[in-house]
Amino acid sequence: MKRSRLGGWGVLLSAAVVAAAVGGWMAETGARAQSKGPVRIGALGTFAHVDGIAIINAATLAVDEINAAGGIDGRPVVLFKYDDHASAAEAVRAFQRAVERDRVDAVIGTFISEVTLPLEPWAARLHRPFIVTGSASNDITKLIHDDYARYRFVFHQWLNSEFIGRAVCDFARDVLVRKLGYSRAFVMSEDAAWTMPLDDSYLRCLPAAGLKVTGHIRFSPDTTDFTPIYNKIEATHPNVIIAGWSHTGLKPTLQWHNLQVPALLAGVSAQAGDGTFWKSTNGATETVVTQTACGPGAALSPKSIPFSDAYIKRFGSAPPYDAYTTYDAVYVLKQAVQRARSTDPDPLVGALEKTDYVGTIGRVEFYGRDSQFTHGLKYGKGYFTGVMIQWQNGRQMTIWPAQTANAKPVVPAFVK
């Protein structure tokens, strides 16, 4: 047998060639296995809260539809559901379990800003796409803008507080001022992370819309007696109270009605966006106006009403705002996986950045890297503005914008 001139180096070289060949085969086999394996999605919400369980319900509905239609390029979708218990610490543990134990390809959900913001560093550390579908704080996208390389995995598929404020002001101009002849407003918000930029937006744009702001108050979420607050508000003689409520809407709505505060209640009362709020307040929510993603009977796109009808049929009540956005987010993720032809994080992020999808809420696109709202949902004409709905005779009716409205605004009998 002829000895190789390479000696020991030849043995090493041969071993390296074999190892490379085996490694390449294993990588190719793994890639093939991954391409045929399930797409794994985590849905994160607060099960005990109507807006939290809506995230889980909507994700379930979307995943069931996708699987019934053959999955994503033939790959089934598996949904993992996590209860964050409205706690940042619980949410972080759930996010870690989702990625490290359940090996999810992306996480969707959360509607409390104080829960969402601590999750962003974990999406960055674990390199896992995270689509926020309910929280509103401007800081969600600020982190991405300020440190794109680190936080590029996060996308915000709901309006930030600045844009919610603009939507309310656009409604105020079109309906409260031009149709109802109102001229005075009082801003009343819960003390939370998402309402600080919301109030800033209100205080800037309400006067531009034609409403003089007669006062501004932020109350503790622990408040139980709103009588002193309403007495203070009434003393300034506003036509309308512009609210910023997400977690505290029940008690102030009940007391506004029982005290017959002589001012229309409008703005953002997230709980009033849920179909069960009429029953929860025993009808005290009559005439309350709130900004939301969409409303029953409102056709922001051909997909809006079919989704709403399917949600009501399956879960028994009208979908809250984050049900619409979560349902759309699952389909946005589906398209991104198809474009990327992969569930690997970086290709998936690149594909999500190219999103141009018409969903239940209208056109969904994300702002680019150079925007101050990097990876935030685009707002405005041709994109997404949301709607204003009003409770009328026990039903949620859309009163703005005009092109999707199915009712005219009404004023309670105790308001002049």
Joined tokens for residue 263: 């001012």
pLDDT class for 50, splitting at 50, 70, 90? confident
**Higher pLDDT pick, 303 / 318:** 303
Report the candidate in 357, 329, 406 with the shortest Cα–Cα distance to residue 130. 329
pLDDT of residue 329: 98
pLDDT band at 6 (very low <50, low <70, confident <90, very high): very low
Pairing of strands 387-392, 395-400: antiparallel
Do 185 and 242 meet the contact criterion of CB atoms below 8 Å apart?
A: yes
Give the tokens for residue 244: 């910023």
Q: What is the pLDDT of residue 7?
A: 38
Residue 377 pLDDT exceeds 80: yes
Query: CA–CA separation, 158 vs 294, rounded Å?
Result: 12
89 or 249: which leads in pLDDT: 89
Would you say the CATH fold of 162-292+386-400 matches that of 39-158+302-364? yes
Q: What tokens appear for 412 in the block?
A: 């309670």
pLDDT band (50, 70, 90) for residue 343: very high
Which residue stretches of 147-249 are H helix? 148-151, 161-171, 195-209, 227-234
Reported as a single tens digit per residue, the pLDDT across 184-228 is: 999 999 999 899 999 999 999 999 999 999 999 999 999 999 999
Q: Report residue 14's pLDDT band, with 50, 70 and 90 as the boundaries.
A: very low
Sheet holding 387-392, edge to edge: 289-292, 387-392, 395-400
Q: How far apart are CA 338 and CA 363, in angstroms?
A: 19
The pLDDT confidence band at residue 31, using thresholds 50, 70 and 90, is: very low
Distances (CA, A) of 369 to 205, 336, 366, 377, 385: 26, 18, 9, 13, 21
Decide if pLDDT at 8 tops 50: no
Contact 120, 151 (CB under 8 A): yes
**Is the Cβ–Cβ distance between 170 and 395 less than 8 Å?**
no
Q: How far, in Å, are 102, 138, 261, 288, 363 from residue 384 at the CA level?
A: 33, 17, 33, 23, 6
Residue 168: closest CA among 141, 216, 208, 137: 208
What is the pLDDT, as a whole number, of residue 35?
52
* pLDDT value of residue 127: 97
The model's pTM: 0.86
Specify the CATH number of the domain 39-158+302-364: 3.40.50.2300
Query: Average pLDDT in the 285-302 region?
Result: 93
Is the pLDDT at 376 greater than 80, yes or no? yes
pLDDT, average across residues 310-326: 94
Residue 243 half-sphere exposure, CB side, CA atoms within 13 Å?
Answer: 27
The residue extents of the domains of the chain are 39-158+302-364, 162-292+386-400
CA 95 to CA 131: how far, in whole Å? 12
Please state the rounded mean pLDDT for residues 385-412.
94
pLDDT beyond 50 at 17: no
Q: In what order do the strands lie in the sheet with 106-109?
A: 77-83, 39-45, 106-109, 130-132, 154-156
* Average of per-residue pLDDT across 152-163: 96
Contact 54, 323 (CB under 8 A): yes
- Rounded average pLDDT over 46-72: 96
Q: Are 41 and 106 in contact (CB under 8 A)?
A: yes
27: phi then psi, degrees, rounded to nearest 5 = -65, -45
Q: Which residue has the tokens 């982190």?
A: 143
- With contact defined as beta carbons under 8 Å apart, do 89 and 170 qualify? no
DSSP helix, strand, coil percent of the chain (3-state; round to 5): 45, 20, 35
pLDDT mean across residues, the chain: 90
Tell me the mean pLDDT in the region 56-62: 98
Residue 153 and residue 116: Cα distance in Å, rounded? Answer: 13
Homologous superfamily of 162-292+386-400: Response regulator (3.40.50.2300)
For residue range 231-279, list pLDDT tens digits in order. Answer: 999 999 999 999 999 878 899 999 999 999 999 999 999 889 888 899 9
